[in-house]
Structure 1
Amino acid sequence: MELLFLAHRAPFPPDRGDKIRSYHVLRYLASRAKVHLVAFGETEADFDVPPVLAERLASVAIVRRDKAQAVAALEALATRRPVSLTAFGSKAMRDAVARVRADAVYCFSGQMAQYLPTDVPTVMDFVDVDSAKFAGFGESGSLPMRWMMRREARMLGAFERQVAGNVRASVFVSEAEAALFRSGGGRGRIEAVENGIDAAAFDPARALPSMRTGEDKTPLIVFTGQMDYRPNIEAVTWFAADVLPLLRTGFPTLQFAIVGRAPTAAVQALAGDGVIVTGAVDDVRPWLAAADVCVAPLKLARGIQNKVLEAMAMARPVVASVAAAEGIDHGGTLQVADDAADHAAQIAGLLSDPHAAAALGASARERVLARYDWDARLAPLDALLGLAA
């Protein structure tokens, strides 16, 4: 079977949430079909196909994307289209797609639906309901920005529903996202295909470079994520301002590490007074291994948070917001917090009781092993795409 895999970002290296999902889906499908990858690339690393994938793929076309966001916004206003589409509008991409002849299409992320062939069965992986994310953004900020976000939510939502009505199936990263799309008027076959976790890679038993000496007893809280992504920026800013002061009454030497690439000026400004901003790191696992508690205090979160699964796989105790925990079937193996006082109380409880914290982390890893194996999570794609097992 010839399969076209479309992606808004090259699925490698798998070092951020969307790329982690697209990488593992691509790897899975390439073991079952002749896959032609067509994707956008933004950095030089995006053009470096890992050997494990290169030997499995029938062809690869990475199209450079360097359109400025301001240009995309002006195009959107002039053409009455969502910015999400004009930002990824490209004749070079259209030409690359036209060169591939395929029996079916797997389209990753709604931005790429504008390139779908009209006569080929397609599985549309929206991942999250992006229009709902923009609706959330439209509730705060300056008046012009709120207007732009609400416009995006309205126009992108209409596009998402149109696409869903024309494809074989639409998939989302969690049943909560799928239900949200249905409730917003989404039609057609709508399924949840969850994320998994590479539990062999994220294994606390593996030898990892140590971030701390054996004598270092300073409590360490860790947050991981792409640090130019608005929900992550808002999460760490709120945590540093509202939660850390409460924690420092009992743990004055406590450190909070913000681990992730491309920190904005607002994130970098948090550094100091016990807050560490690492920027890009080669490997997040040493930071997770060193953490006394991992946190995910996101106010706005869509689908399954890979950062939470990774911390759970590393047997770390996790305190997550309601939004960050919603898509994960954790079975009580992480702690869910609401406001700042609740976050502080739950984190303090874990820091004060290392045995309870270790037990929670161990149960989290057991849950991940039982529930989030990648091949098991992706198995429904066989039937959706008509692939042989």
Structure 2
Amino acid sequence: MSDILVLAHRIPFPPDRGDKIRSWHILKELARHGTVHLAAFADDEADAAHLPALRAALDGRLGEAHVEVRRTGRAAAAARALVQGKPLSLTLFDSKAMHGFVARILSDHPVSTVFAFSGQMAQFVPKRARLVMDFVDVDSAKFEAYAARGGVLAPLYRREARRLAAFERATAARASASLFVSDAEAALFRSRVDLRHGDVRALHNGVDLDFYDPAAAVPAAPRPDGPLIVFTGQMDYAPNVDAVGWFAEEVLPAVPGATFAIVGRNPTPAVQRLAEPGRIEVTGAVPDTRSWLVSADLVVAPLRIARGVQNKVLEAMAMGRPVVASPAAFEGIDAAPGRDLIVAESAAEQAREIRLLLADPVRAATIAAAARRRMEDAYRWDVRLAPLAGLIGIPQRQAAA
């Protein structure tokens, strides 16, 4: 059986943030079909130290692995990007050691397919190798959205969008398949890239329904006297920072008596300044976000800039929580608005829907139960990742064996 080389811009373990959740489940599924070698970056030494646990979790199915702490600063990467005419997204991740490891693995092992997770990793794949590219999201479109909001960084965002779009087109042109997290992202990419013979498709996210289970024995987070509204996410991620700031300023004032909990690691100074005793709680990292989900009267996802599928929404729905999401946060989720969750756009609309749910516990419980059922029906990881075997060249009969 042939080997598979997986490249990831962040070590796929533990699966405790959106990108790691997807990359971990993909890595685990690929390891079912052959020896998998891994080349990945890590945010810091603590992140890199998760490699032994990852190896143990794969139970002997991981071959060689290279996990490298990414040390290139943004200023140095930006200077290099300007000189080389490349996107900053690439120069931030460029590494001679990573190039060397990939070249050696392809030379020493019978690798049939390179699976690259996130566009930055395509730069390490030689043209002779068979590539399956998991872009996940259309990153160039994200930078276009940043630029459209104006500000002093808008010219840099526009440059990044242009350069990254060109790189995405070139990568998709040589890939055997280009994957995206949703049908909407795949359709957006097709509309931007003229690939007459390219295979561009969605590989949908799932959710761990055994872990995110409302019946699980999870200690509940402390509840305030009034209603509790919860947002979960990585709190140094710009779209999340924007979302909670906008919600706190524009929506929460129209929901009297409620407490808003911002739950997630690495809150930026801007997020920390939102904290207000009895009204807004900024938790930072927590041992288990499920504790806050089970305590929540409802969960919000008020993102104004979003790409792909929001795992935070899937997880809240799996936990049987009523969710109020913006259209951007809902995009790509296979569920029925009004039945499985509430979708509302403006601040006034979100505030009104939140007040209505808080005032009608029976309706909130009905939506919460429908949300869990929808996750059970459509979002199991084994179902979502079933196409992977064919993408890496495993016949369906052999994959099912």
Distance 1:11 1:296 in 2: 24
In the other structure, the counterpart of 1:384 is 391
In the other structure, the counterpart of 2:281 is 276
| Displacement after TM superposition at 1:77 (Å) | 0.8
Task: Output one character per residue of 1:313-370: Cα deviation in whole Å (capped at 9) or x when no partner.
Answer: 0000000000000110112301000100000011111111111111111100000011
Within the candidate set 131, 144, 148, 1:135 is matched to 144
| Displacement after TM superposition at 1:142 (Å) | 2.3
In the other structure, the counterpart of 2:262 is 258
In the other structure, the counterpart of 1:103 is 112
What SS does structure 2 have at the residue aligned with 1:366? helix
What SS does structure 2 have at the residue aligned with 1:235? helix
What SS does structure 1 have at the residue aligned with 2:62? coil
What SS does structure 2 have at the residue aligned with 1:210? coil
Task: Output one character per residue of 1:84-138: Cα deviation in whole Å (capped at 9) or x when no partner.
Answer: 0000011011111112131111100000000012222111000000000000000
CA RMSD of aligned residues (A): 1.1
Q: How many residues align?
A: 382
In the other structure, the counterpart of 1:320 is 325
Within the candidate set 132, 142, 160, 1:123 is matched to 132
Distance 2:371 2:346 in 1: 23
What SS does structure 2 have at the residue aligned with 1:58? strand
Bigger drift between 57-66 and 289-298 goes to 57-66
In the other structure, the counterpart of 1:17 is 18
Residue segments in structure 1 that go unaligned for 5+ positions in a row: none
Task: Kindly indicate whether residue 186 of structure 2 is the aligned counterpart of residue 178 of structure 1.
Answer: yes
For 1:138-177, what aligned pairs fall within 5 Å after superposition? 138-143=147-152, 145-177=153-185
Residue segments in structure 2 that go unaligned for 5+ positions in a row: none
Tell me the amino acid that sits aligned with residue 201 of structure 1: F
| Displacement after TM superposition at 1:167 (Å) | 0.9
Q: Is the 8 A contact 1:12 1:46 kept in 2?
A: no
In the other structure, the counterpart of 1:309 is 314
Q: Is the 8 A contact 1:13 1:46 kept in 2?
A: no
For 1:1-389, what aligned pairs fall within 5 Å after superposition? 1-43=2-44, 44-49=46-51, 50=53, 51-53=56-58, 55-101=60-106, 102-143=111-152, 145-187=153-195, 188-212=198-222, 217-248=225-256, 252=257, 254-273=258-277, 274-332=279-337, 333-387=340-394, 388-389=398-399
Distance 1:107 1:79 in 2: 23
Identity of aligned residues (%): 54
Tell me the amino acid that sits aligned with residue 352 of structure 2: A
Distance 1:127 1:46 in 2: 22
What SS does structure 2 have at the residue aligned with 1:270? coil
Distance 1:186 1:159 in 2: 14
| Displacement after TM superposition at 1:186 (Å) | 4.6
